[in-house]
Structure 1
Amino acid sequence: MKFVMVHNNFNVRDLDKSIAFYKEALGLEPGRRIEPEDGAFKIVYLEDGNSNHQLELTWLRDWDRPYNLGDNEFHLAFKVDDYEGAYKKHKEMGCIVYENPNMGIYFIADPDGYWLEIIPLHR
């Protein structure tokens, strides 16, 4: 029996704002969409163009409050080939929430507060 990871899900309050953030911050592009006729939810799968793993963003029409992320001790990690350039971009965007220079990593947060770890490609 063999399992393959295909996607992670984040529920978001403003789908367009989240898509724009992920495109600017990480170069992710929207792929497949699911939108039922009743408009109760929308799902957009974001892709990096390099792997088969996707980030599923889910918007729920009737959700009226920020998502409770608890202690936010979970995250997604991204390796980047230009760590210094990414750091500069994220600093300019104001989305860096934690830095660990000793480990050579940092974290950014999306509009809903989900953390994303940035790692140099050759680490």
Structure 2
Amino acid sequence: MKYVWTTINTDDLETSILFYKEIVGLPVVRRFKTPDGEIAFLGEGETLIELIKSANPAPKVGPGISLGFAVDSLEETLSFLKRWGVAIESGPFQPNDHIRFFYVLDPNGVRVQFSHSF
């Protein structure tokens, strides 16, 4: 068994794609219509993000769930997000001498963590 994707239900597929493509840096690898909506997969490698816009949406992701992305520079990422007008939800935090991270919210309210290990 292997982990292949995380599904996020969205009311605005275009805004969600823009966030994960332009802010997070994930390419769209598949996109297609369904009988009651549209699905897009974004990512690199084996694990993808599946965005679903449906006429009959499923419940939103609950609290306590977050997606984590490693970055080369936390400071550059913070500056990049500021230029895009993305608000920092919490952090930066440095719980030990080896990692720093912070959170933003995606357009669907999902917490997205950007972390740098050193």
TM range (shorter): 0.7 to 0.9
Given the superposition, is the C-alpha separation of residues 32 and 94 from structure 1 closer, same or farther in structure 2, using an over 3 Å criterion? Answer: closer
TM-score by length of structure 1 reads 0.80
Cα distance between partner residues in 2 of 1:68 and 1:11: 6
> Unaligned 5+ residue runs, structure 2?
none
- Partner letter of residue 25 of structure 1? I
Identity %: 26
Distance 1:5 1:45 in 2: 14
Looking at structure 1, the residues matched to 49 and 87 of structure 2 have their Cα atoms a distance apart, in angstroms, of 19
Aligned equivalent of 1:83: 74
Q: Which has the higher strand share?
A: 2
Please report the RMSD computed on the Cα atoms of aligned residues, expressed in angstroms: 1.8
Query: CA separation of 1:4/1:68 partners in 2, compared to 1, >3 Å: closer, same or farther?
Result: closer
- Whole-angstrom CA distance in 1 between matches of 2:61 and 2:7: 13
Q: Do the aligned partners of residues 5 and 62 (structure 1) sit closer, same or farther apart at CA in structure 2, a change above 3 Å counting?
A: closer
**Residue 42 of structure 2: aligned partner:** 46
Report the equivalent of 2:64. Answer: 73
Tell me the distance in 1 between the aligned counterparts of 2:109 and 2:70.
Answer: 20
